[in-house]
Amino acid sequence: MTRSRLVTALLVLAVVALVALPLVLDGGASDFSGTDAAAAELAEAQGAQPWFASVFSPSSSEVESGLFALQAGLGGGVLGYVLGRLRGRRLAERAAADRARGDGGT
């Protein structure tokens, strides 16, 4: 195993530990509800009715938070990929135009 792979593996383990360790040490005693849940409870207490029912309801707020983080990460990855492809396409077109003019990219 090379040094760079070892460093990468240790960094990945450190990130996993930073995420998992607080959840393990807490033992599920904390209430991870957010402002969305509080606002929904307040609206329902004032007589508001939901417009629709959820298709899927996670069993706990930790699972819901994890799914939201997964969705945000996937969205960020797709956005980064698309922006990178667009930038790469523009650079390739610019390089092809420079070659056609005979500039050689300088």
What pTM did the predictor assign? Answer: 0.46
Closest CA to 64 of 41, 40, 32: 32
Residue 61 lies in a domain: no
pLDDT tens digits, residue range 18-38? 988 887 887 766 666 677 778
Q: What is the secondary structure of 20-77 as a DSSP string?
A: HHHHHHHTT-S----HHHHHHHHHHHTT---SS--S---SSHHHHHHHHHHHHHHHHH
Task: Assess if residue 17 is contained within a domain.
Answer: no
Residue 91 placed within a domain: yes
CA-CA distance, 8 to 4, in Å (whole number)? 6
**Parent domain of 89:** 75-101
- Asked, for residue 82, whether it belongs to a domain, the answer is yes
Q: Tell me the per-residue pLDDT of 80-99, one tens digit each, with 9 for 90 and over.
A: 999 999 999 999 999 999 99
Number of domains in the chain: 1
By the 8 A CB rule, do 72 and 63 touch? no
Instruction: Determine, yes or no, domain membership for 11.
Output: no
- 49 assigned to some structural domain: no
Residue 86, domain member (yes or no): yes
